[in-house]
Structure 1
């Protein structure tokens, strides 16, 4: 049977084919090298030379192993193979230097390749002749064996033919499969290295079978150790329970996993992790780990979210501002409506008094007594003073709102200012009594006398309007370390507690002011002037009934501090 297999196999043809391939690849490598020396030596030329060199090594490696090596050694000796391998290694070193410097390759190395090609071309004939001689000797032996055991040979001849045919087909199929596998492997490696993602393949034991360059960059190996062929856990020194080990475990169990974007420990990058099982038919034989650098996308997404939140906050704030402005505008519009109605009434009343008195004086003329003329003139003067106060308070409020009022503080006698304001008020309302306790006031106070006079006059006027004789108006002065407190109290109608907070709003009038002349501006102006002096005006209920308004301004010592 051994003789039959030897006779029927195409082993000699295979050896001849591989020898011719070594000759062919050496010759192509020499031609590529000569093209390198003649051409521009581009990156494409580098890749072509590297490919031809790899092919030459692979063909020579086949002849240097197993039975092919024995056949070559038996017919040619071991020297041609060793010489050819040495020439290829020498050429590889020269090519490495030439690729860096883009220098021409030495002609001697190219000549060595051509000589090797000639040697293997001649060797193919010798091997073929020797193979034929061996085959002839085997056939003679076979004939002798046939003559000695013709019966046995006839029984197994059919089986021998069948086995030989199957063997030849198997060899051819294996050769084709190896070539296809080699092409697929090379193409797969090219795809993996061209990917922008880090890719690591592993088997069922978690042993790395492939690792591309991107993975080495994203997930560097401690100490630069080799990972391929080693357990990923050991190569990367991962502790038990590490997320990557858990993903590998679940992947070889059949799960495809995805870990969302997360920061790399001790780095400023964000990555996503994916794992997918690798199947051969229905069986899982390993898995693939992909790590994708998503730093730019993650930062852009975070920035977008931040901008969205800022925009939402801005829109919310602007909406609130607009709603507040609309509410203020609505309230102000209502106040202005009330103010216009109230001012129209307030202006109409004194004007009616002036008109009626003037008409009476025109109609009766000389018939009026001096006392009646004086009475009518007094009514006209009072009405004009009332109009003047209305116009003055309205103009002062407008100036304060526009920031156009003059503020000129200086040292002045506040006690004298208050006494003079009381005297003016008393002239206007001679039936009212004023009690003053101003002994605690300092000799000098830093303030704008014209503005403070307006505040005091307004508070005195309000106390008179909202109380009735013979109740007195009480003016007292008190001091503490930082403040001067001027209190003006009346025993009048008072102010409802639920309206006290609104009292200093422009145009506001309490419900207890019904039937009393006024614009609702005076207290607003008074507080504004007090705050110009870094002070304030507040309203307090009087214990025995009525109201107390307190003007508070800082002492000169406090301002200096």
Structure 2
């Protein structure tokens, strides 16, 4: 083969340089089927270690190495080697592509070198084949989409024509030059001359008796102008005529027969007003009934539980219960019955929206012992309840409505028990400062998520952590409103999974100090003596 080189030294190193520079793999075997040359690129593509070739350069040994590591798949190794040796001995030019175990695709081009041997060129065509496959898939997908689009257009065209003719409203379409494009059957019946003008694509001005509506200007959801008006036409019927713009600047006009609507509007409006009044009346009645049932079912739970717990204890120990203890149990039952009667009377006056207006029956009475007794009653209601209280900071006497305060604290204590695990301690602490008498109820229950704390006193609202636990969602609302009527309020702090602390605030002014009571008693005694002296 002729070539030109004017540097003798370059010729000595040219072949090794070229063999290592090209990206393709190259191998040469002699007529005895021994490997006499292979570059690094070929070794890398074939994953063939140089050490294997150096150890035994025969093509048979290389084939056996590949077969043993599974390059040729399953089967007898010697048969795989023999088959490939038979093909190689033919020294026939060939071009094939093989997929390597690692997924790469190698193109193999073999050509004989006369009778001296065989040269093979290896090219990694993985990316090229992947690209071709992706291109083919994209082309197929585009063809499929095009075919579907054509089919859909044809279907929609037929569907549109049938739909336009099937609708009850008249419909007429003009292009951007106000030439007639389409009019459905309903429109042609209203204006018979349209059939003639359709064939000519007449200008809108040529259609006898037809005018474009131009009254109330509106805008559709896309911000395009739309005109509408109501008009009585030549057939003595009322129509609502609406015009809107098309994408290409034309216009679509619809004629809707509203004669029956016009006739019935007055009657329907009158009936609607009557129904609204009746519905509002039913809603108010339903709300009142639901309010009463909900309040009663919730607020009766505590006195009923007290009655039941005391009755069970009397039943278990009726033969050996001391009279004093029996009298105490009976007194608890009677107090609970009176409390239920009180609640019934209060609920009869309880409106659907507020508790305001109910008269607070405040009087001077024992304050701390009343709260302690209430804690004791809740402690006895369930065997697993663990409750501790320290109310020493609160005054002995105060001016308050006992039934309302009992109900407020009962709601908080009941919730603390209901939303806590068995034997989880509940602490009730009394505090006092210049402004308030405070009753804190600490539990270790499920807690309330922080975003829900502002809603917890809303009527019927229940925290998400109360799921699966029975409740009506009105106890805290009742407590808040009842405390407000007594000049107090309630606050809550809570952490989910750790528990809650509800604090009842009552005005410190309701407290009656013992010193003040004794002083008032002495003043009354002196006044009595002075009165007797004057009388004598």
TM-score by length of 1: 0.30
Structure having the higher strand fraction is 2
Q: Which has the larger radius of gyration?
A: 1
Higher relative contact order (CA 8 A, sep 6+): 1
Structure having the higher helix fraction is 1
